[in-house]
Amino acid sequence: MTGLLDGVLAVAGALLLMVWMLFVELVLPLLGILLVLLLIAVIRTLVQGHKTSTYVPAPDPDKETLCAEKLSAMVQCETISVRGVDQPEKFRRFHQVLKELYPVVFNHCEVMDIDGNLLLHWKGVSSSNPIMLMSHMDVVPASGGWSRDPFGGEIADGKVWGRGTADTKASVMAFYQAAEELISEGYVPPVDIYLCSSCTEEVGGDGAPKIVQWLKDHDVKLSLLCDEGGGIISEPIGGVPGYYAMVGVYEKGTGDLKFTARSAGGHASAPARNTPIARLGKFITEVETKTPMKVKFSPEVDAMFSRLAPYASFPLHLVLGNLWLFKPLLKRVLPLISPQAAAMLQTTIAFTMQKGSDGYNVIPQEAYVTANLRFIPHQKVDESVEVLTKLAAKYDIETEVLMANDPSPSLDLKGCAFHLTEAAIAEVFPGLPVSPYIVTGATDCRFYNDVCDNCVRFAPVVYGPEQLKGMHGIDENIETNCLPGAVEYYKAMIRLQGSSC
C-alpha cells in the first residue's frame, strides 16, 4: 500500500511540475505581453492628456427673445402630418406664418410651393456648387398628458414649449432668421442658397422625393446639404461631461420584414407541438438572445470614440483612446450596456407587430410578427435579409421583405464639407468639441444622394436630456438661450462657402 501511495504522489508531483512548467513557459509570457500592452496604453493616455468641453451658450437677451417669439409663432401653427393623407392647405398656412415672420426673405427669394413642401432659392454670386439648408416643417401628434398646450408656443422657464420646438422648427426658424438678417444687410452669398422644408418627413412621405425631383428637373447638383440628425448634445456618452457637436455623417438604412408561421390550425383543447406562435416565439428569442448580426467598428465609430476619449474620466479615456487594444472587449460589452452604442455597431432588429388567431381557443392557421431593421454599412439589406431568412427557415417560418433601403453614403471626414462644418462650429461655438456621429433614425436627407454628395446631418441647437426625451414625447421644448447661436451657425455656413478647406 505504501508503494502504491508513493507512486500516486510521484505522478501527482510530476503533473504539478508539468502544469507549473506550462504556466511559466506559456501563461507568464502572455501575461507579460498583456501587461506591456496595458502599460503602453496607459502611457499613451497620459501623454494625450485630459481635455474639457468649455462651451456654454453665450448670453444675448435681445436676440434670444426675438428668436423665441418667432419660434413660438411657428409652433402655434399645427403641422401634424398623417401617413397616406395629403394636406397641402394645412402646410400652406405654415408658409403664410413664415412669410409674415420673414418678409425680406420671401420678397427677395424665388419661392416654390411643391404640393405643400417649401423650397426657396436665394441667388448668389455663382450658381455653381449651391448649398441647401433644410429641416422639416411637419410634426408628430401630441398625445398624452402635456403640462402645457402642445400648440400654445408658451415661452416660460427659459424655454419655448410645444410640439416641433426641438424636432425641428427651431432649425427652420434659425436658417430663415439667418437669411433675413443677411439679406437685410445687403449681403450676397458666394453661391446660390436653397432653403427647404418638407411636410412629410415624420411619416416617410413623398415630400422630400418631390423636392429632389424638382432639383433634378432644374439640373441642380448641391455641393453641401445641412439637415437634422446630430446636434449639440450634453454628455453624449456616460462619463463624458459637457456639450459636444455630434455631426451626423451617415444614417443607417431602414426596413420592415414580416415573418409568417403556418399550420393546419385546430382546437386549442388538443394542441400539437410547435404551433405557429410557439415557433415565432422561439425565433424571436434566438434573435434577441444571440444576435445573428455582425458586430463591427466602422471608421466613423472609431473616429467618434477617439475624439471623445480625451474628455472622459481616466478609466474611460484609457479604453476609448486605445481601441487598438480594447476593441475586442468593447464589441462584447457595449451592446450589453448601451442600446445606442449597439445600434452603431450592427444592424438592429426590433420586433414591432404580431397577430395570431381571432379566437381565444383557436390555434392559428397563420401567425406573423413584423420587425423593423436599421441596416449598418458592413451588413446591408441583402446580407441582413439572407441571415434572417435562413434563421427563420430553421423554425419553418417564411420571410417577406415589406420595405428596405441601404444606409446612406458616409460624409468624408477628411473632405471639405466636414472641415467647413468644423470651422463654422469653431467660429460660433467656442470651446465646443466636434465629433462624427452615426444617425440611427431616418431623415429626409436619405432621399438626396442623387443630387448631393456631402450631406451634413447637424442641427445647431442644444439637446439636453429633457429635450431628447421630449422629441416625439410629452412636453417637448427647446432652451431659448441656444437659439441665437443656431442663427449665427447658419450665417457662418453661408459665408464660408467658396473658401478653401
Query: Could you tell me the CATH number of the domain that includes residue 257?
Result: 3.30.70.360
Query: Could you tell me the CATH number of the domain that includes residue 481?
Result: 3.40.630.10
- Kind and range of the H or E run holding 228: strand 224-234
pLDDT at 18 over 70: no
Residue 42 lies in a domain: no
Domain boundary among 373, 405, 437: 405
pLDDT at 218 over 70: yes
What domain range is 451 assigned to? Answer: 61-251+409-496
Residue 29 lies in a domain: no
Instruction: Say how far apart CA 476 and CA 469 lie, in whole Å.
Output: 8
User: Do 174 and 228 belong together in one domain?
Assistant: yes
Residue 400 lies in a domain: yes
Instruction: Say how far apart CA 299 and CA 127 lie, in whole Å.
Output: 34
- Name the nearest CA neighbour of 354 among 336, 373, 368, 342: 368
Q: Which residues contact 478 (CB under 8 A, 6 or more apart)?
A: 71, 159, 160, 165, 166, 170, 461, 462, 467
pLDDT at 39 over 90: no
Contacts of residues 235-238 at CB distance under 8 Å and 24 or more positions apart, as own/partner, are 236/308, 236/435, 236/437, 237/308, 237/312, 237/316, 237/338, 237/341, 238/338
pLDDT at 338 over 80: no
Domain boundary among 347, 370, 405: 405
Residue 32 lies in a domain: no
User: Do 379 and 433 belong together in one domain?
Assistant: no
User: Do 377 and 241 belong together in one domain?
Assistant: no
User: Do 362 and 471 belong together in one domain?
Assistant: no
User: Do 213 and 80 belong together in one domain?
Assistant: yes
Domain boundary among 340, 374, 405: 405
pLDDT in the model for residue 380: 97
Q: Which residues contact 498 (CB under 8 A, 6 or more apart)?
A: 126, 129, 190, 191
User: Do 226 and 153 belong together in one domain?
Assistant: yes
Residue 208 grid coordinates: 422630400
Model confidence pLDDT, tens digit, residues 467-476: 999 999 999 9
Q: Supply the DSSP string of 254-315, one letter for each residue.
A: EEEEEEEEE---EETTSPPSS-HHHHHHHHHHHHHHS--SPP---HHHHHHHHHHGGGS-HH
User: Average pLDDT of the chain?
Assistant: 93
> What value, to the nearest 5°, has the Cα angle with vertex 241 and ends 238 and 242?
135
Model confidence pLDDT, tens digit, residues 256-308: 999 999 999 988 888 888 999 999 999 999 999 999 999 999 999 999 999 99
Domain count, the chain: 2
| The model's pTM | 0.90
User: Do 198 and 264 belong together in one domain?
Assistant: no
Residue 501 lies in a domain: no
Grade residue 8 by pLDDT with cuts at 50, 70 and 90. very low
User: Do 187 and 227 belong together in one domain?
Assistant: yes
User: Do 233 and 105 belong together in one domain?
Assistant: yes
